[in-house]
Protein backbone atom coordinates (compact mmCIF):
# COMPACT_ATOMS: atom_id res chain seq x y z
CA UNK A 1 0.00 0.00 0.00
CA UNK A 2 1.17 3.53 -0.78
CA UNK A 3 2.60 5.36 2.22
CA UNK A 4 0.17 7.54 4.18
CA UNK A 5 0.93 11.23 3.57
CA UNK A 6 1.07 13.11 6.86
CA UNK A 7 1.35 16.80 7.64
CA UNK A 8 2.22 17.97 11.16
CA UNK A 9 0.59 21.12 12.50
CA UNK A 10 2.62 22.32 15.47
CA UNK A 11 6.26 21.34 15.93
CA UNK A 12 6.69 21.41 19.67
CA UNK A 13 8.34 18.50 21.50
CA UNK A 14 5.55 16.03 20.76
CA UNK A 15 5.37 17.18 17.15
CA UNK A 16 9.10 16.57 16.76
CA UNK A 17 8.86 13.17 18.44
CA UNK A 18 5.99 12.21 16.13
CA UNK A 19 8.08 13.28 13.14
CA UNK A 20 11.05 11.11 14.17
CA UNK A 21 8.81 8.11 14.79
CA UNK A 22 7.09 8.58 11.44
CA UNK A 23 10.47 8.85 9.69
CA UNK A 24 11.37 5.44 11.10
CA UNK A 25 8.39 3.78 9.38
CA UNK A 26 8.10 2.77 5.74
CA UNK A 27 4.32 3.23 5.58
CA UNK A 28 4.37 6.97 6.34
CA UNK A 29 5.60 9.99 4.40
CA UNK A 30 5.70 13.35 6.21
CA UNK A 31 5.14 15.94 3.46
CA UNK A 32 4.94 19.20 5.42
CA UNK A 33 5.33 20.84 8.83
CA UNK A 34 3.38 23.96 9.79
CA UNK A 35 4.57 25.82 12.88
CA UNK A 36 5.81 29.07 14.35
CA UNK A 37 9.44 28.19 13.57
CA UNK A 38 11.41 29.18 10.49
CA UNK A 39 13.42 26.62 8.52
CA UNK A 40 16.68 27.08 10.44
CA UNK A 41 15.00 26.88 13.86
CA UNK A 42 13.00 23.82 12.80
CA UNK A 43 16.15 22.03 11.65
CA UNK A 44 18.06 22.98 14.80
CA UNK A 45 15.34 21.83 17.23
CA UNK A 46 14.84 18.61 15.31
CA UNK A 47 18.54 17.76 15.37
CA UNK A 48 19.31 18.77 18.98
CA UNK A 49 17.19 17.47 21.86
CA UNK A 50 18.13 18.08 25.49
CA UNK A 51 16.17 15.06 26.70
CA UNK A 52 16.66 12.33 24.09
CA UNK A 53 19.97 13.50 22.66
CA UNK A 54 20.88 14.41 19.09
CA UNK A 55 18.81 12.99 16.24
CA UNK A 56 20.82 10.31 14.45
CA UNK A 57 19.75 11.40 10.96
CA UNK A 58 21.34 14.25 9.02
CA UNK A 59 19.16 17.39 9.06
CA UNK A 60 19.83 20.24 6.64
CA UNK A 61 17.85 23.49 6.30
CA UNK A 62 17.13 24.73 2.78
CA UNK A 63 15.19 27.75 1.47
CA UNK A 64 11.68 26.57 2.34
CA UNK A 65 12.16 22.97 3.39
CA UNK A 66 14.40 20.71 5.46
CA UNK A 67 16.24 17.69 4.15
CA UNK A 68 16.25 14.74 6.57
CA UNK A 69 18.36 11.99 5.12
CA UNK A 70 16.94 11.55 1.63
CA UNK A 71 13.55 13.04 2.53
CA UNK A 72 12.39 16.57 1.76
CA UNK A 73 9.82 18.12 4.10
CA UNK A 74 8.22 21.47 3.31
CA UNK A 75 8.22 24.03 6.14
CA UNK A 76 5.14 26.27 6.30
CA UNK A 77 4.63 29.25 8.60
CA UNK A 78 1.61 29.12 10.87
CA UNK A 79 0.94 32.70 9.77
CA UNK A 80 -0.13 31.15 6.47
CA UNK A 81 -3.72 29.90 6.33
CA UNK A 82 -4.40 26.21 6.77
CA UNK A 83 -6.04 26.12 3.35
CA UNK A 84 -2.93 27.49 1.64
CA UNK A 85 -0.68 25.25 3.74
CA UNK A 86 -2.19 21.94 2.62
CA UNK A 87 -3.45 22.68 -0.87
CA UNK A 88 -1.82 20.64 -3.64
CA UNK A 89 0.02 18.43 -1.11
CA UNK A 90 -2.50 15.56 -1.18
CA UNK A 91 -2.43 15.22 2.62
CA UNK A 92 -4.09 12.10 4.02
CA UNK A 93 -3.76 12.96 7.71
CA UNK A 94 -2.94 16.11 9.66
CA UNK A 95 -1.42 15.45 13.08
CA UNK A 96 -2.35 18.53 15.10
CA UNK A 97 -0.34 19.00 18.30
CA UNK A 98 -1.38 22.60 18.99
CA UNK A 99 -4.22 21.87 21.45
CA UNK A 100 -6.31 24.26 19.37
CA UNK A 101 -10.03 24.86 19.67
CA UNK A 102 -11.88 21.77 18.37
CA UNK A 103 -13.84 23.90 15.90
CA UNK A 104 -10.62 24.99 14.21
CA UNK A 105 -9.53 21.41 13.65
CA UNK A 106 -12.19 21.09 10.97
CA UNK A 107 -10.30 23.70 8.94
CA UNK A 108 -7.81 20.97 8.02
CA UNK A 109 -10.61 18.93 6.45
CA UNK A 110 -11.97 21.97 4.59
CA UNK A 111 -8.41 22.58 3.32
CA UNK A 112 -8.31 19.13 1.75
CA UNK A 113 -6.93 16.76 4.40
CA UNK A 114 -8.87 13.50 4.63
CA UNK A 115 -8.37 13.00 8.38
CA UNK A 116 -7.28 14.93 11.48
CA UNK A 117 -5.71 13.26 14.52
CA UNK A 118 -5.29 15.78 17.32
CA UNK A 119 -4.01 16.23 20.85
CA UNK A 120 -6.99 18.47 21.61
CA UNK A 121 -9.58 16.88 23.86
CA UNK A 122 -13.20 17.87 24.38
CA UNK A 123 -16.63 16.35 24.81
CA UNK A 124 -17.33 17.30 21.20
CA UNK A 125 -14.40 15.29 19.75
CA UNK A 126 -14.42 11.53 19.32
CA UNK A 127 -11.55 10.04 21.33
CA UNK A 128 -9.62 6.97 20.23
CA UNK A 129 -7.03 5.62 22.68
CA UNK A 130 -4.87 2.83 21.33
CA UNK A 131 -5.27 -0.30 23.43
CA UNK A 132 -8.72 0.75 24.60
CA UNK A 133 -11.22 1.51 21.84
CA UNK A 134 -9.14 1.46 18.66
CA UNK A 135 -11.21 -1.47 17.41
CA UNK A 136 -13.71 1.23 16.33
CA UNK A 137 -11.25 2.95 13.96
CA UNK A 138 -13.11 1.59 10.94
CA UNK A 139 -16.04 3.93 11.61
CA UNK A 140 -14.31 7.01 13.02
CA UNK A 141 -15.23 10.58 12.16
CA UNK A 142 -12.89 12.81 10.10
CA UNK A 143 -11.66 14.64 13.24
CA UNK A 144 -10.57 12.55 16.22
CA UNK A 145 -8.53 13.01 19.36
CA UNK A 146 -5.71 10.64 20.26
CA UNK A 147 -6.31 11.49 23.90
CA UNK A 148 -4.04 13.27 26.36
CA UNK A 149 -0.63 11.76 27.32
CA UNK A 150 -1.72 10.78 30.83
CA UNK A 151 -4.95 9.30 29.52
CA UNK A 152 -3.07 7.27 26.93
CA UNK A 153 -1.04 5.77 29.79
CA UNK A 154 -3.78 5.01 32.31
CA UNK A 155 -6.72 4.08 30.09
CA UNK A 156 -5.29 0.75 28.79
CA UNK A 157 -4.41 -0.24 32.36
CA UNK A 158 -7.94 0.61 33.52
CA UNK A 159 -9.31 -1.41 30.60
CA UNK A 160 -7.38 -4.49 31.77
CA UNK A 161 -8.57 -3.91 35.34
CA UNK A 162 -12.15 -3.70 34.06
CA UNK A 163 -11.90 -6.95 32.12
CA UNK A 164 -10.30 -8.90 34.96
CA UNK A 165 -11.75 -7.43 38.14
CA UNK A 166 -14.75 -5.17 37.32
CA UNK A 167 -13.70 -2.35 39.70
CA UNK A 168 -16.49 -0.40 41.34
CA UNK A 169 -14.57 2.89 41.19
CA UNK A 170 -11.05 4.16 40.59
CA UNK A 171 -8.97 7.14 41.74
CA UNK A 172 -5.96 8.46 39.83
CA UNK A 173 -2.89 10.43 40.83
CA UNK A 174 -0.86 11.28 37.74
CA UNK A 175 2.60 12.63 38.51
CA UNK A 176 4.46 14.16 35.57
CA UNK A 177 6.47 17.10 34.31
CA UNK A 178 3.89 18.40 31.87
CA UNK A 179 2.61 21.96 32.04
CA UNK A 180 -0.78 22.30 33.74
CA UNK A 181 -3.61 22.88 31.28
CA UNK A 182 -6.16 24.45 33.62
CA UNK A 183 -5.74 28.08 34.56
CA UNK A 184 -5.93 28.15 38.36
CA UNK A 185 -4.16 30.12 41.05
CA UNK A 186 -1.83 27.18 41.75
CA UNK A 187 -0.87 26.72 38.09
CA UNK A 188 0.24 30.35 37.86
CA UNK A 189 3.18 29.52 40.15
CA UNK A 190 6.59 28.68 38.69
CA UNK A 191 6.88 24.99 37.83
CA UNK A 192 10.67 24.89 38.14
CA UNK A 193 10.51 25.19 41.92
CA UNK A 194 7.18 23.68 42.87
CA UNK A 195 5.05 20.56 43.00
CA UNK A 196 1.76 21.79 41.53
CA UNK A 197 -1.52 19.90 41.99
CA UNK A 198 -4.07 20.44 39.23
CA UNK A 199 -7.11 18.77 37.68
CA UNK A 200 -6.21 15.72 35.58
CA UNK A 201 -6.47 16.87 31.95
CA UNK A 202 -6.84 13.29 30.77
CA UNK A 203 -10.02 12.60 32.72
CA UNK A 204 -12.48 13.43 29.93
CA UNK A 205 -10.73 11.42 27.18
CA UNK A 206 -10.25 8.50 29.59
CA UNK A 207 -13.94 8.43 30.44
CA UNK A 208 -14.86 8.73 26.76
CA UNK A 209 -12.60 5.90 25.58
CA UNK A 210 -13.48 3.58 28.47
CA UNK A 211 -17.16 4.42 28.61
CA UNK A 212 -16.81 4.80 32.37
CA UNK A 213 -17.76 7.64 34.70
CA UNK A 214 -16.63 6.04 37.99
CA UNK A 215 -13.06 7.34 37.67
CA UNK A 216 -11.65 10.59 38.96
CA UNK A 217 -8.32 12.02 40.01
CA UNK A 218 -5.76 14.77 39.85
CA UNK A 219 -2.38 15.59 38.33
CA UNK A 220 0.76 16.45 40.25
CA UNK A 221 3.11 18.51 38.08
CA UNK A 222 6.76 18.29 39.07
CA UNK A 223 10.04 19.71 37.71
CA UNK A 224 11.10 16.51 35.91
CA UNK A 225 11.47 15.78 32.20
CA UNK A 226 9.16 13.52 30.23
CA UNK A 227 8.61 10.43 32.38
CA UNK A 228 5.59 10.33 34.66
CA UNK A 229 4.17 7.93 37.22
CA UNK A 230 0.44 7.26 37.48
CA UNK A 231 -0.89 5.74 40.69
CA UNK A 232 -4.21 3.98 40.15
CA UNK A 233 -6.29 3.00 43.18
CA UNK A 234 -9.38 0.89 42.58
CA UNK A 235 -12.05 -0.80 44.65
CA UNK A 236 -12.66 -4.25 43.16
CA UNK A 237 -15.86 -6.27 43.01
CA UNK A 238 -14.22 -9.34 44.59
CA UNK A 239 -11.11 -10.10 46.69
CA UNK A 240 -7.77 -10.73 45.00
CA UNK A 241 -4.04 -10.87 45.74
CA UNK A 242 -0.92 -9.04 44.59
CA UNK A 243 0.26 -12.15 42.74
CA UNK A 244 -3.01 -12.45 40.81
CA UNK A 245 -3.06 -8.77 39.88
CA UNK A 246 0.51 -8.92 38.59
CA UNK A 247 -0.20 -12.10 36.64
CA UNK A 248 -3.15 -10.40 34.92
CA UNK A 249 -0.93 -7.60 33.64
CA UNK A 250 1.94 -9.88 32.70
CA UNK A 251 -0.48 -11.91 30.58
CA UNK A 252 -2.04 -8.77 29.10
CA UNK A 253 1.38 -7.49 28.02
CA UNK A 254 1.75 -10.62 25.86
CA UNK A 255 -1.64 -10.32 24.16
CA UNK A 256 -1.58 -9.02 20.56
CA UNK A 257 -4.07 -6.23 21.38
CA UNK A 258 -1.68 -4.74 23.96
CA UNK A 259 1.59 -5.38 22.11
CA UNK A 260 3.70 -2.23 22.30
CA UNK A 261 1.14 -0.59 24.57
CA UNK A 262 1.34 -2.30 27.99
CA UNK A 263 4.59 -3.52 29.50
CA UNK A 264 5.51 -4.76 32.96
CA UNK A 265 8.70 -4.57 34.99
CA UNK A 266 9.83 -6.19 38.22
CA UNK A 267 13.03 -4.14 38.40
CA UNK A 268 13.65 -1.29 40.89
CA UNK A 269 13.39 1.50 38.31
CA UNK A 270 13.24 5.29 38.64
CA UNK A 271 11.89 7.78 36.13
CA UNK A 272 15.13 8.25 34.20
CA UNK A 273 15.18 4.53 33.35
CA UNK A 274 11.91 4.87 31.40
CA UNK A 275 13.04 7.82 29.28
CA UNK A 276 12.41 7.02 25.62
CA UNK A 277 10.05 4.14 26.35
CA UNK A 278 7.68 3.57 23.43
CA UNK A 279 5.09 1.83 25.61
CA UNK A 280 1.96 3.67 26.68
CA UNK A 281 2.24 2.16 30.16
CA UNK A 282 4.75 0.10 32.12
CA UNK A 283 3.20 -1.48 35.21
CA UNK A 284 5.75 -1.67 38.04
CA UNK A 285 4.87 -5.00 39.65
CA UNK A 286 7.20 -4.37 42.61
CA UNK A 287 4.88 -1.54 43.65
CA UNK A 288 1.53 -3.33 43.33
CA UNK A 289 -0.44 -3.30 46.57
CA UNK A 290 -3.65 -5.01 47.66
CA UNK A 291 -5.31 -3.89 50.90
CA UNK A 292 -8.06 -5.90 52.53
CA UNK A 293 -8.43 -8.02 49.41
CA UNK A 294 -10.51 -5.58 47.35
CA UNK A 295 -8.50 -2.32 47.32
CA UNK A 296 -5.72 -2.42 44.73
CA UNK A 297 -3.03 0.14 43.98
CA UNK A 298 -0.96 0.10 40.78
CA UNK A 299 2.08 2.17 39.82
CA UNK A 300 2.35 2.87 36.08
CA UNK A 301 5.36 4.52 34.40
CA UNK A 302 4.98 6.38 31.11
CA UNK A 303 7.01 8.67 28.85
CA UNK A 304 4.52 11.45 28.18
CA UNK A 305 6.27 12.47 24.96
CA UNK A 306 7.81 9.44 23.25
CA UNK A 307 5.22 6.90 24.33
CA UNK A 308 2.37 9.26 23.47
CA UNK A 309 3.89 10.23 20.10
CA UNK A 310 4.13 6.55 19.13
CA UNK A 311 0.39 6.12 19.67
CA UNK A 312 -0.28 9.38 17.83
CA UNK A 313 1.53 8.11 14.73
CA UNK A 314 0.02 4.62 14.94
CA UNK A 315 -3.49 6.06 15.13
CA UNK A 316 -2.73 8.42 12.25
CA UNK A 317 -1.61 5.57 10.00
CA UNK A 318 -4.63 3.41 10.81
CA UNK A 319 -7.03 6.36 10.48
CA UNK A 320 -5.34 7.42 7.26
CA UNK A 321 -6.07 4.06 5.66
CA UNK A 322 -9.72 4.34 6.70
CA UNK A 323 -9.91 7.91 5.42
CA UNK A 324 -8.59 6.91 2.01
CA UNK A 325 -11.35 4.35 1.66
CA UNK A 326 -13.91 6.84 2.93
CA UNK A 327 -12.82 9.42 0.36
Domain ranges in the chain? 4-120, 149-304
pLDDT bin (cut points 50, 70, 90) of residue 327 is low
Given a cut of 70, whether residue 1 has pLDDT beyond it is no
Ramachandran sector of residue 147 (left: φ over 0; alpha: ψ -120 to 50; beta: rest):
left
Say which DSSP state 75 is in: E
Tell me which of 3.90.1150.10, 3.60.15.10, 3.40.50.1820, 3.40.50.720 is the CATH number of domain 4-120.
3.40.50.720
Strand ranges (E), 14-155: 28-35, 59-61, 65-68, 71-77, 93-96, 115-118, 126-127, 143-145
Q: Report the chain's mean pLDDT, rounded to a whole number.
A: 94
In this structure, what DSSP letter does residue 12 have? S
Please tell me the distance from the alpha carbon of residue 179 to that of residue 158, in angstroms, as a whole number: 24
Mean pLDDT of 52-66: 96
Is the pLDDT confidence value at 195 over 70?
yes
* Residue 308 DSSP one-character state: H
Residue 318 has pLDDT above 90, yes or no: yes
Taking residues 207-236, report their average pLDDT.
Answer: 94
Quote the pTM value: 0.95
Q: How far apart are CA 98 and CA 120, in angstroms?
A: 7
Residues with Cβ within 8 Å of 7's Cβ and at least 6 positions away in sequence, in order, are 30, 31, 32, 33, 34, 85, 86, 89, 91, 93, 94, 95, 113
Rounded to 5°, the CA angle 148-154-155 comes to 80
Over residues 110-138, the mean pLDDT reads: 92
∠ CA 274-266-160, rounded to 5°: 85
**Residues β-bridged to residue 73:** 66
Confidence of residue 322 (pLDDT cuts 50, 70, 90): very high
Please tell me the predicted confidence (pLDDT) of residue 186. Answer: 87
Statement: residue 85 has pLDDT above 90: no
Given a cut of 80, whether residue 96 has pLDDT beyond it is yes
- Rounded-to-integer distance, Cα 91 and Cα 114, Å: 7
* 148-189 pLDDT per residue, tens: 999 999 999 999 999 999 999 999 999 998 777 777 888 888
C-alpha–C-alpha distance, residues 118 and 143, integer Å: 8
Quote the CA–CA distance of 131 and 137 in Å, as a whole number.
12
175 strand-pairing partners: 220, 229
Residue 283 has pLDDT above 70, yes or no: yes
Residue of higher predicted confidence among 296 and 100: 296
CATH of domain 149-304: 3.30.360.10
* Residues 34, 16: Cα–Cα separation, whole Å: 12
For residue 7, is pLDDT > 80?
Answer: yes
* Topology agreement, domain 4-120 and domain 149-304: no
Any idea what the Cα angle at residue 261 is, between residues 258 and 266, rounded to 5°? 95
Give the three-state DSSP class for 193: helix
* Pairing relationship of beta strands 71-77 and 65-68 according to DSSP bridges: antiparallel
**Cβ of 292: how many Cβ atoms within 10 Å?**
7
What pLDDT, on a 0 to 100 scale, did the predictor assign at position 132? Answer: 97
Amino acid sequence: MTAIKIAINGFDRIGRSAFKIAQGRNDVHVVAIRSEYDVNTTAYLLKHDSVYGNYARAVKPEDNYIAVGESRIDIVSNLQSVKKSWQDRMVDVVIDTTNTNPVRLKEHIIAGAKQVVAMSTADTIETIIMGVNDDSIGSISPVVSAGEPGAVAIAPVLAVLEQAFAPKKSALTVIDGGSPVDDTLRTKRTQQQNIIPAPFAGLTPSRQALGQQTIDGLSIHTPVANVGLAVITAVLAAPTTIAIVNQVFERAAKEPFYQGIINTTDKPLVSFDLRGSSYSATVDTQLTRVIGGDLVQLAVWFDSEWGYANRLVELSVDAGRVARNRA
